[in-house]
Amino acid sequence: MAGSTPASLSADAPAAGVVQARKARSISPAIETWRRFRRHVLAVSGAIVLLIMVLGVLVGPSIWAVPINEIDFTAKLQGPSLKHPLGTDDLGQDLLARMMYGGKISLAVGFAAMMVALVVGVLVGAVAGMASGWVDAALMWLTDLFLALPTLPLLLLVIYLFRDSVKQVLGVEGGAFVLIVVVIGGLRWMPVARLVRAQFLSLREKEFVEAARALGASKVRQVVQHILPNALGPVIVVGTIDVATAIIFESTLSFLGLGFPSDVPTWGSMLRDAKDYLDIAPHWALFPGAAIFLTVLAINFIGDGLRDAFDPRRVL
Amino acid sequence: MAETLLDIRGLKTWFKTEDGMVRAVDGVDLRIDRGETVGVVGESGCGKTVTARSVLKLIDMPPGRFEAGTILWQGRDLIPLDQDEMNQIRAREIAIIFQEPMTSLNPVYTVGDQIAEVIALHQKLSPKQAMAGAAEMLRLVNIPNPQKRVHDYPHQFSGGMRQRVMIAMALSCQPKLLIADEPTTALDVTIQAQILELMQEMKEKFGMAIMLITHAMGVVAETCQRVTVMYAGKVVEEAPVEALFGDPRHPYTQGLIRSIPRIDRAVSRQARLESIQGTVPSLLNPPPGCRFAARCRFATDVCTQAMPPLKEVAPGHRVACVL
């Protein structure tokens, strides 16, 4: 879990081209960011790849309507063919169908864990940034404490301890999903919190916040209406990178056998199952591995593009 | 005698720092009547802005705190009010505009949204009505094509235009007093004149009073009825504008007026523009006596003993000097 907080982010107003502003009637900062994002070739390709992935896992199963657990020993460990475009595993199950099903879980885990990390991080960071003094200090100690925890052993311990009780409440698959999302999100909020706090510390001194205060805006309104929207740019960037990290973590957990139950395919668990057959059926590991690789790379490029688009000092 | 709107008496706003108490505002009296323009002048660091922010209670506490004094707004003391009660007064009764028009608007909302926010906050109006009110305010402050411009973002406006938007925002609830904290300092001279003219126009339209904080004496001469001169956290002279320029009593006021470039006195090579020597003293544990004594050419032993109180030398003209 790399501490991947981009360094050179600023909350200043987007330095919009005046010429551009004249042409269109009204250019919102969001449109301006989109215009800058479009010029980032890698980011746009990343976005297209991710879009294809998402569409593939959502729409794909209805086009390629092969059950994920249809066992056919006559066709086990086959390479790609017309009948099985991505080949089969050791039970003769169709890999394309399993990839699409697993991708849905992997992507869902990624996005859900990012949301958890963002919500917790923004809350902690905002409270710390607004309430200076001991509240701020205590929350930052807590953040440092979480940052100092060794992630993987803790993850394993938490899942080992709580897997069964959560399973009883939410069912096998749902329980695993919630547990994994909460645990990954719960261990990824610290960079967000630090970032949001730093943003708040600088933004709350800005003249437009003071102006809002002088014109009768309550504290909550100052935060929600005036400070938070200006702090969101960098947070979105960190969020995209968190999606990638969460997908990798889910793969790690599944690979170690602590993620979803073994009969539920995810990209990570498919890798784990494939590892014993690497020499006779390399395609089995290759496809889920490539899917993880492509998705994470695409999301990272999107994050890069967003960071550049939000950075007013860059001319794009 | 007009009705008194704001009456500040003996206000002391101090800031606690690691080195001790900074007495930014140290016993200030200031009165503003309905519909009049009062100038507050002085060098940077004289406590003008702190006085203005104290009125709206925009001082961060801590480190700031009101040590003494009262701020009577239409007879009601503002000092004991909490932030919620102050929010009822802000914009509705007293509004403020700041020095920096470039950064005083939120970059992520259209100017219409921001003006409408103030209107909706203080008046029970639908979003549509508030937006119409915002366009109307933009029209009042002479922004061309207001119906379209309400949908523009702050970065699409120039500095002078943004200050107009700020004025529109401040006036959107028809306050009785507008505090203008160096409203023209960040603008170039032609735009300054336009903004001052606009404020004058708005004043006539809405009948509000203006507290104009500035260090440009020329601006004061042109717009104000009464002037309060501040030095190092204290009021040193207060007078109607004609009396102040015609018969300045305090050496500091005299120095300020002499340091205005005059077009009728040709600047020869020898005659340099006069200035007041030295700088404003630290407000950290200031010495007893007149705070201007160190820079005053008339200073005597008496001046360093005790701060002379304000005394009336002519009707409405008060000065804090032993001379």
Give the 3-state DSSP-derived string for B199-239, with helices as H, strands as E and coil as C: HHHHHHHHCCEEEEEECCHHHHHHHCCEEEEEECCEEEEEE
Q: Mutating which of A19, A206, A208 best tests the B interface, going by the most B Cβ atoms within 10 A?
A: A208
Instruction: Please count the CA atoms within 13 angstroms of the CA of B10 that sit on its side-chain side.
Output: 6
Q: Name which residue leads in pLDDT, A3 or B289.
A: B289
The whole-number pLDDT of residue A116 equals 92
How confident is the model over B276-287, as a mean pLDDT?
73
**pLDDT band (50, 70, 90) for residue B147:** confident
Is residue B321 less than 8 Å (CB to CB) from chain A?
no
Q: Which residue of B has its CA nearest to A11?
A: B107
- pLDDT tens readout for residues B25-39: 888 888 888 888 888
pLDDT at residue B60 is higher than 50: yes
The whole-number pLDDT of residue A272 equals 79
Cβ neighbours of B121 in A, within 8 Å: 215-217, 221
The whole-number pLDDT of residue B269 equals 54
The whole-number pLDDT of residue A121 equals 93
**Nearest residue to A266 via CA among A296, A288, A244:** A288
Site of tokens 């992997």: A106
Q: Name which residue leads in pLDDT, A142 or B270.
A: A142
How confident is the model over A271-293, as a mean pLDDT?
82
Write the Ramachandran bin of A292: left for phi over 0, alpha for psi from -120 to 50, otherwise beta.
alpha
Note whether B91 contacts A216, CB cutoff 8 Å: yes
Q: Which token pair is A207?
A: 């003249």
Q: Residue A198: what residue type? A: A
Q: Which token pair is B320?
A: 């804090």
Cβ neighbours of A12 in B, within 8 Å: 107
Q: Which residue of B has its CA nearest to A31?
A: B108
Is residue B156 less than 8 Å (CB to CB) from chain A?
yes
**pLDDT band (50, 70, 90) for residue A282:** confident
Share of chain A above pLDDT 90, in %: 12
The whole-number pLDDT of residue A120 equals 93
- pLDDT tens readout for residues A17-38: 444 444 445 667 778 788 888 8
- Distance between CA atoms of residues B89 and A213, nearest Å: 12
Summary mean pLDDT of chain A: 80
CA-CA-CA-CA torsion sign (A241, A243, A247, A250) = positive
How confident is the model over A124-134, as a mean pLDDT?
87
How confident is the model over A45-72, as a mean pLDDT?
82
- Distance between CA atoms of residues A54 and A306, nearest Å: 19
Q: Which residue of B has its CA nearest to A22?
A: B156
Q: Collapse the DSSP code of A19 into the 3-class scheme (helix H, G, I; strand E, B; otherwise coil) and give the result.
A: helix
Q: Residue A256: what residue type? A: L
**pLDDT band (50, 70, 90) for residue A314:** low
Spatial contact of B35 and B208, defined as CB atoms under 8 Å apart: yes
Note whether B83 contacts A218, CB cutoff 8 Å: yes
| Widest pairwise Cα distance in chain B | 67
- pLDDT tens readout for residues B191-238: 888 888 888 888 888 888 889 888 888 888 888 888 888 888 888 888
Distance in angstroms between the alpha carbons of the first and the last residue of chain A: 31
Rounded alpha-carbon distances, angstroms, from residue B114 to A144, B172, B195, B237, B262: 38, 11, 20, 39, 42
DSSP string covering B95-149, please? EEE-S-TTTSS-TTS-HHHHHHHHHHHHS---HHHHHHHHHHHHHHTT-SSHHHH
Cβ neighbours of B103 in A, within 8 Å: 206-208
Mean pLDDT check: name the lowest of A161-165, A191-195, B176-180. A161-165
Label the pairing between strands B317-319 and B311-314.
antiparallel
**pLDDT band (50, 70, 90) for residue A1:** very low
**pLDDT band (50, 70, 90) for residue B22:** confident
Task: Give the CA angle between residues A276, A279, A281 to the nearest 5°.
Answer: 80
Q: Tell me the sheet residues that pair with B3.
A: none
Is residue B151 less than 8 Å (CB to CB) from chain A?
yes
Q: Residue A97: what residue type? A: A
pLDDT at residue A215 is higher than 60: yes
The whole-number pLDDT of residue A18 equals 41
How confident is the model over A225-243, as a mean pLDDT?
84
- Distance between CA atoms of residues A48 and A35, nearest Å: 16
The whole-number pLDDT of residue B266 equals 56
Q: Provide the ipTM.
A: 0.76
**Which range, A189-193, A217-221, B185-189, has the best average confidence (pLDDT)?**
A189-193
Note whether A208 contacts B117, CB cutoff 8 Å: no
Note whether A216 contacts B121, CB cutoff 8 Å: yes
- pLDDT tens readout for residues A64-98: 777 777 777 777 777 677 777 777 777 777 778 88
Omega before A234 within 30 of 0, i.e. cis? no
Distant-in-sequence, close-in-space partners of B160: CB < 8 Å, separation ≥ 6: B101, B187, B191, B194, B195
Mean pLDDT check: name the lowest of A220-229, A300-309, B109-118, B287-296. B287-296
Note whether B90 contacts A214, CB cutoff 8 Å: yes
- How many other β-carbons are positioned within 10 Å of the β-carbon of residue A262? 11
Q: Which residue of B84, B104, B148 is in closest CB contact with A211?
A: B104
Domains and CATH numbers, chain A: 106-303 (1.10.3720.10)
Closest-CA distance of chain B to residue A15, Å: 8
Note whether B156 contacts A16, CB cutoff 8 Å: yes
Q: Which token pair is B71?
A: 């701020």
Q: What is the pTM of this model?
A: 0.74
Closest-CA distance of chain A to residue B115, Å: 10
The whole-number pLDDT of residue A119 equals 93
Q: Residue A182: what residue type? A: V
Q: Which residue of B has its CA nearest to A29?
A: B108
Summary mean pLDDT of chain B: 82
- pLDDT tens readout for residues B294-310: 787 777 777 777 778 88
- Distance between CA atoms of residues B32 and B7, nearest Å: 6
